[in-house]
Structures are given as C-alpha cells and as structure tokens.
C-alpha cells in the first residue's frame, strides 16, 4: 500500500522502513504512528522478510521527536490515547520476532529515541544526538522512554537523562549501552547493510527464539529466564533449520536456512 509518511524498500529478505517527513525532521504525529504500526504488522506477517531496518529520511534526523505542533492542542484524553498508540507501536517493534536494526543519523530525541530503543540493535553515526527532552516541555516521556531507558542504561542514567532533558552524543549513548555500534557517518549505510545481511542469512526461527529469551526472560527471575531458555533450546531441535545448521557444520559448508 501507499504511505504518506513512510518509504518502504526491499533488498532480498531485508525490508527498510523509512520515516519520511523531512520538513518536520521526521517527527512522529498520530498518522505516522498508525502507518508505522501497519508497516511493522505487514513485516511481521511476511515470511519473506527476515530483517527490518528502520531509518529516517535526510541527514539531519533519525526522528527528532513527537510532533509538538499536533500535541500542543491535545486534551488529557487525547494525550493518553497518543501515548498508548506510541507504546503499542514500540512494543510491536520489540516483539516483532524478527531482528530490527535502527539506522540512526542526526537527531534521535524524545519519541525518536524511544523509537530507536524499541529496536533490537542500534547503529549510530558519530554525528547522532540522543536525548529525552520532554521535561523541557513540562512533560514526561510517553512512548516508553522511562522504562526502556531504565532497562538499557540503568536507573542513574535514566533519571539523569529524563530529569535534565540534556542531549548526549552517540559515543556517550554507546558508553551507556543505549547504542550497540557507533560508526563514521560515511560508513553508516555499509555497516547497517552488512549487519542486515548477516542477520538475514541466520536461522530465522533461532533468531526469534533468541529475541523471545532475551526480551521475555529478561523481565522475570533468573530461574524463570533459564527455564524459558531451556524450552526454546529444546524447541529448536524440532526444526529443519537445526538439522541443516548442525549438518552443515559437520560437512564444513555454509548452512542455508529455510525458516522451517
């Protein structure tokens, strides 16, 4: 389908979803949230898609935040619905069952940082800037920023970033565990493409199991998490991909996974 605020591209098993509102620095309004939710639902249901890359158009911003002009007129009831729509989107990305890579250049602020944190891997340009500046607007993060930042970077970093509203560099975000890789701006596309290729060639059912074990098990006790891992490990033995992977290893060849 045609989107007003997104661009969709395909390269083999890799689908790239680009937020395209360059005149608004790719800010998230309600329509864009709805389009992203639909786009990720379609990616989830398409068996030919093994990896999703999420990007923002232009060089100035990944996503500069929520659309303040639209938010300014919200009632509390409308604000609650907007927050819940954003949180549903972020949760759907996190629980997609397929690896999602955020390609981050320029600003990733407010809702943009929350969008990036919902992705599984985050590759940032050295020129990227991160922050949760909602307090400067008399607000708190509404798309999961307090919770995912807490889990990624710890309580101290979450409180400092949310309470001060200060921006941080990509290097500092990496030090805090918010970003998984920081690369030179001219290398960003090559690094993201190589990572996406690597993940697309991996066993998709095993990737889904790893995502489940880390994301779901990470919210439980260590004993429950270990049991979750054991069940996922055992389930993998029922797949053709496991037979292919182990056989290819023994035969000293590259495995070809079919997702079965």
Spatial separation of the C-alpha atoms in residues 199 and 202, rounded to whole Å: 5
Q: What is the pairing mode between strands 167-169 and 129-131?
A: antiparallel
Active site residues: 114, 134
Structure tokens at 103: 């390609």
Cβ–Cβ < 8 Å for 102, 122? yes
- For 64-165, strand residue ranges (E) read 100-104, 107-109, 121-125, 129-131
Task: Name residue, tokens 């390609």.
Answer: 103
Spatial separation of the C-alpha atoms in residues 227 and 221, rounded to whole Å: 10
Query: b or e along 164-181 (b: 16 or more beta carbons within 10 Å of the residue's beta carbon)?
Result: ebebbbbebbbebebbbb
């Amino acid at each position: 389908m045609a989107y007003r605020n997104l661009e969709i591209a395909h390269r083999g098993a890799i689908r790239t979803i680009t937020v395209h509102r360059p005149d608004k620095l790719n800010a998230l309004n309600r329509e864009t949230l709805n389009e992203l939710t639909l786009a990720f639902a379609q990616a989830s249901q398409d068996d030919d898609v093994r990896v999703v890359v999420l990007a923002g158009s232009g060089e100035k911003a990944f996503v500069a935040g929520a659309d303040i002009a639209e938010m300014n007129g919200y009632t509390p009831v409308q604000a609650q619905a907007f927050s819940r729509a954003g949180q549903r989107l972020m949760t759907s990305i996190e629980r997609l069952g397929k690896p999602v890579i955020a390609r981050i250049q320029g600003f990733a602020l407010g809702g943009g940082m929350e969008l990036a944190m919902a992705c599984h891997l985050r590759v940032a340009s050295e020129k990227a800037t991160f922050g949760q500046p909602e307090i400067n607007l008399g607000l708190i993060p509404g798309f999961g920023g307090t919770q995912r930042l807490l889990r990624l970077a710890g309580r101290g970093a979450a409180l400092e970033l949310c309470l001060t509203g200060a921006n941080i560099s990509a290097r500092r975000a990496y030090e805090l565990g918010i970003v998984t890789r920081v690369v030179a701006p001219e290398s960003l596309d090559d690094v993201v493409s190589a990572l996406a290729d690597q993940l697309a060639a991996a066993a998709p059912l095993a990737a889904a199991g790893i995502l489940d074990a880390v994301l779901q098990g990470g919210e439980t006790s260590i004993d429950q998490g270990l049991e979750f891992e054991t069940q996922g490990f055992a389930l993998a033995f029922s797949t053709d991909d496991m037979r292919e992977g182990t056989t290819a290893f023994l035969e000293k060849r590259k495995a070809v996974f079919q997702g079965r």
